[in-house]
Amino acid sequence: MKENQWFSLLGLANRARKIISGEELSVKEIRNGKAKLILLSRDASVNTTKKITDKCNSYNVPLKMVENRHLLGQAIGKEARVVVAVLDDGFAKKLVSLLD
């Protein structure tokens, strides 16, 4: 049940244009302080996982893992996505509570 909730909420955040996907764009949003939450797929490469985790740690951005890239992409109506940055506080807080 809970899985569907974060999935739907991420879709909603996407329609509200409150997310950005892709590693480079996400890192940029972390750097400029706009990313409120990073969603990272568990099947991301070791390099990507390290890069995103380090960035999140140094900029104090919460990071949550989701099952896989296909699920993450599907939630936002795209092909497989490894990294998604949530740019809205409200959506970020709700997603964190659903993914805990």
Domain edges within the chain:
2-99
| In the predicted structure, residue 34 carries a pLDDT above the cut 90 | yes
Q: What is the pLDDT of residue 67?
A: 93
State the alpha helices, DSSP H only, in the chain.
Answer: 2-15, 23-31, 46-59, 69-75, 89-99
**Of all residues in the chain, what percent carry a pLDDT higher than 70?**
97
Average pLDDT over the chain reads 95
* Amino acid residing at 93: K
pLDDT classification of 23: cutoffs 50, 70, 90: very high
Q: Which CATH architecture has domain 2-99?
A: 2-Layer Sandwich (3.30)
Using DSSP's 3-state secondary structure scheme, residue 94 falls into helix
User: What pairs with residue 86 in β-bridges?
Assistant: 19, 37
| In the predicted structure, residue 1 carries a pLDDT above the cut 60 | no
